[in-house]
């Protein structure tokens, strides 16, 4: 059974690659990247073997702990876990939970990240080969280290999926939970700067990681090499206990999620209360506006796109806290505008095949573009305005506000204009409506990633005049220039916006059926 599932996993990957040459290209580029990364790691490990034993231990334990942490956190952030073998789909087969867990673990080890991690972990022998005792320890601890990382990943994924199964809960908590996680970097960095990081403290700190579940397995050969067999044994015990605890936790979470698949909550509103639909003028623009705005407030996938709004000021404040935070915060509005403006670059993807409803009515592309942009703007413009005004209110000096506003609104409008065109051409695989918004969706190609990057550049280039003038005005404290930046942002942004709606609308009239056909080809749309 386990072998069958492993074969299935590779068959799915093979079929995906066979479907389109571009997926194969993306896969090969990823593979080349993995091989190069691996080569670098092996070279480093070989070099470490000729160095000081303490340095070798520090580097391997530190890097190993980061790898384990990464595996545990990855299911929570955008990439998510591989859903090729979803426990929900395996539940119909007569298979015990333990067997399923073994299969899922092995499948994860045999994925690309799993293979790279395993090979890198095995490659530590290049370092440890210089110490006979470490070789023995390596034999035992390496599988434990890799399995801990993989099992931690699956445990977190299962728990996260379970937590996210109540809809209302998922919509709000599911998003908020990720804010501290994304902020983990600065928080850790903040603690680290508290200890005034330098090479010495690092070598003091990292060995401590070896006593934690994160680094224990990685630290066993280091202690063995140093001849401290008692410490090695103790750490091996910690590592095994960690793995055991994770396994038990995973089993409990899995059993619970399989026994109680999905809560069916039935939130109903009073008949006759149709929200925005009752307040918009009739026609395609009004209909699309009301529909899109309802989704912006009701669909976790849209809420997720707003996650940047609280994060940007916090991060800016954090990185500038030793200088002048208010200067940095003044730029949160343009940055927020860019992030929440550009995310709609393929927003028809979020419609899924429901886009067919709109297509079947013959609604004009121009109305669709305008409706979508108005809905996105109804959410984004107030947030951007707030982000722009608040820092100046704290500073009490309003002279540079026009420039910042010009930059922010200019960027926002330009992004909308650019996205009005690109989203008439592009659909990308996204989590389906009702899925966990952080679920990884197979099928995103390398080419799409490049396209997204290109769209960034175009949007930035088109809003460059306001950005450049605004920055000069701000840093020279020139009030007149600030007003010029304001005018530039509004005028050029509006021009790009109008052009985008006209061009994108005309395009969508033609490309609508093509987009629907592509959405239909994506299985979860």
Partner 1 sequence: MPPAPPAAPAAFAAAAAATNGGVAAEVAALELRGLHKRFGQKVAVADISLRVPTGSFYGLVGPNGAGKTTTLSMATGLLAPDAGQAVVHGVDVWRDPVTAKAMVGNLADGVKLFDRLTGEQLVTYNGLLFGLSHDEIAQRTADLLSLMDMTDAAGTMVVDYSAGMTKKIALACALVHAPRLLVLDEPFESVDPVSAANIEDILAGYVAGGGTVIVSSHSMDLVQRMCDHVAIVAAGRLLVAGTVDDVRAGQSLQDRFVELVGGRRHTEGPEWLRRS
- Which spans of this chain sit near partner 1 (rule: CB under 8 A)? 264-275, 277-278, 280, 282-284, 286-288, 290-291, 294-295, 298-299, 351-364, 433-434, 509-511, 513-514, 516-517, 520, 525
Q: How far is the CB of 430 from partner 1 (least distance, A)?
A: 13
Q: Do residues 229 and 133 touch, judged by C-beta distance below 8 A? A: yes
Closest CB to partner 1 among residues 148, 511: 511
Which residues are within 8 A (CB) of 421 and not within 5 positions of it... i.e. 6 or more apart?
Answer: 500, 503, 504, 507
- Nearer of residues 219 and 344 to partner 1, judged by Cβ: 344
* Closer Cβ to partner 1, 162 or 283, answer by number: 283
Close Cβ partners of 368 (under 8 Å, ≥ 6 residues apart): 284, 285, 288, 358, 505, 508
> Minimum CB separation from partner 1 for residue 361, in Å?
4
CA distance 203 to 274: 62
Residue number, 82 or 358, with CB nearest to partner 1: 358
Q: Which is nearer to partner 1, 481 or 515 (CB)?
A: 515
Minimum Å gap between C-beta 164 and partner 1 is 15
Question: Which of residues 292 and 328 has its CB atom nearest to partner 1 in the complex?
Answer: 292
Strands (E), 359-466: none
Q: Which is nearer to partner 1, 11 or 510 (CB)?
A: 510
Of 68 and 511, nearer to partner 1 (C-beta) is 511
The two three-digit tokens of residue 469, written as one number: 């003038």
Q: Which two tokens stand for residue 206?
A: 């990292």
For partner 1, the closer of residues 266 and 323 by Cβ is 266
Question: Rounded distance, CA 10 to CA 23, Å?
Answer: 15
Residue 287 DSSP symbol: H
CB of 270 to partner 1, least distance (A): 6
What values do phi and psi take at 269, rounded to 5?
-105, 165
CB of 506 to partner 1, least distance (A): 13
Using CA atoms of 143, 144, 146, 148 in order, give the dihedral in degrees to the nearest 10. Answer: 160
Q: Nearest Cα to 224, choosing from 129, 303, 325, 157?
A: 129
Provide the minimum distance between the beta carbon of 362 and partner 1 in the complex, in angstroms, as a whole number.
3
CB 235 within 8 A of CB 208: no
Residue closer to partner 1, measured from CB, 39 or 521: 521
User: 3-class SS at 83?
Assistant: coil
Cβ burial 337-364 (10 Å sphere, 16+ → b, else e): bbbbbbbbbbbbbbbbeebbebbeeebe
Closest contact distance (angstroms) between CB of 459 and partner 1 is 27
Distance CA(511)–CA(481), nearest Å, equals 42
CB-wise, 291 or 440, nearer to partner 1? 291
Nearest distance from C-beta of residue 177 to partner 1, angstroms: 21
Q: Is 72 or 293 the residue whose CB approaches partner 1 more closely?
A: 293
CB atoms within 10 A of CB 122: 14
**Closest distance to partner 1 from the beta carbon of 433 (Å):** 6
Neighbours of 227 (CB within 10 A): 12
CB of 16 to partner 1, least distance (A): 15
Question: Torsion angle, CA of 352/288/362/432, rounded to 10 degrees?
Answer: 0
Report CA-CA distances (Å) from 360 to 233, 285, 366, 420: 68, 15, 16, 20
By beta-carbon proximity to partner 1, the closer residue of 199 and 267 is: 267
CB 411 within 8 A of CB 337: yes
Residue among 274, 209, 263 nearest 69 (CA): 209
What's the closest the beta carbon of residue 447 comes to partner 1, in angstroms? 19
**Torsion angle (degrees, nearest 10) of CA 145, 147, 151, 154:** 110
Task: Give the alpha-carbon dihedral of 126, 130, 134, 140, to 10 degrees.
Answer: 30
CB of 355 to partner 1, least distance (A): 8
Token pair belonging to 158: 């299962």
Shortest approach of partner 1 to residue 7 CB, angstroms?
Answer: 25
């Amino acid at each position: 059974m386990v072998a069958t599932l492993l074969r299935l996993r590779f068959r799915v990957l093979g079929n995906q690659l066979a479907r389109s040459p571009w997926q194969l290209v993306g896969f090969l580029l990823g593979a080349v990247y993995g091989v190069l990364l691996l080569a670098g790691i092996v070279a480093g490990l070989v070099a470490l073997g000729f160095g000081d034993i303490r340095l070798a231990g520090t580097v391997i334990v530190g890097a190993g702990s980061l790898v384990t942490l990464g595996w545990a956190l990855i299911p929570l952030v955008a990439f998510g876990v591989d859903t090729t073998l979803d426990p929900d789909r395996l539940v119909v087969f007569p298979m015990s939970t333990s067997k399923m867990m073994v299969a899922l673990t092995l499948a994860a080890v045999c994925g690309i990240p799993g293979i790279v991690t395993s090979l890198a972990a095995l490659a530590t022998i290049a370092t440890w080969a210089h110490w006979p005792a470490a070789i023995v320890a390596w034999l035992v601890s390496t599988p434990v280290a890799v399995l801990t990382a993989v099992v931690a990943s699956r445990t977190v994924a299962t728990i996260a999926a379970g937590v996210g199964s109540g809809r209302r809960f998922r919509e709000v908590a599911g998003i908020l939970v990720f804010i501290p996680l994304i902020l983990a970097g600065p928080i850790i960095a903040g603690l680290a700067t508290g200890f005034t990081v330098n090479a010495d403290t690092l070598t003091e700190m990292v060995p401590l990681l070896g006593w934690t579940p994160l680094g224990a397995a990685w630290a066993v050969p280091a202690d063995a090499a140093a001849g401290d067999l008692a410490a090695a044994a103790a750490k091996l015990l910690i590592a095994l206990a960690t793995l055991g605890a994770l396994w038990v936790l995973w089993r409990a979470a899995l059993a619970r999620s399989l026994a109680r698949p999905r809560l069916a909550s039935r939130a109903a509103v009073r008949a006759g209360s149709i929200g925005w639909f009752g307040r918009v003028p009739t026609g395609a623009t009004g209909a699309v506006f009301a529909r899109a705005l309802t989704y912006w407030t009701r669909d976790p996938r849209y809420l997720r796109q707003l996650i940047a709004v609280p994060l940007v000021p916090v991060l800016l404040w954090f990185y500038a806290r030793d200088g002048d935070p208010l200067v940095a915060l003044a730029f949160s509005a343009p940055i927020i505008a860019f992030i929440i403006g550009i995310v709609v670059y393929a927003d028809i993807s979020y419609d899924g095949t429901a886009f067919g409803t709109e297509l079947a009515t013959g609604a004009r592309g121009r109305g669709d573009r305008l409706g979508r942009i108005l809905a996105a703007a109804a959410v984004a413009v107030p947030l951007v305005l707030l982000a722009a005004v608040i820092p100046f209110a704290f500073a009490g000096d309003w002279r540079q506000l026009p420039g910042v506003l010009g930059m922010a609104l200019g960027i926002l409008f330009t992004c909308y204009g650019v996205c009005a065109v690109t989203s008439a051409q592009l659909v990308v695989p996204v989590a389906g409506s009702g899925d966990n918004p952080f679920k990884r969706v197979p099928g995103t190609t390398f080419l799409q990633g490049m396209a997204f990057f290109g769209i960034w550049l175009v949007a930035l280039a088109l809003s460059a005049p306001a950005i450049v003038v605004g920055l000069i005005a701000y840093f020279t404290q020139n009030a007149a220039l600030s007003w010029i930046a304001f005018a530039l942002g509004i005028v050029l942004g509006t021009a790009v916006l109008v052009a985008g709606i006209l061009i994108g609308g005309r395009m969508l009239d033609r490309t609508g059926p093509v987009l629907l056909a592509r959405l239909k080809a994506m299985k979860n749309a």
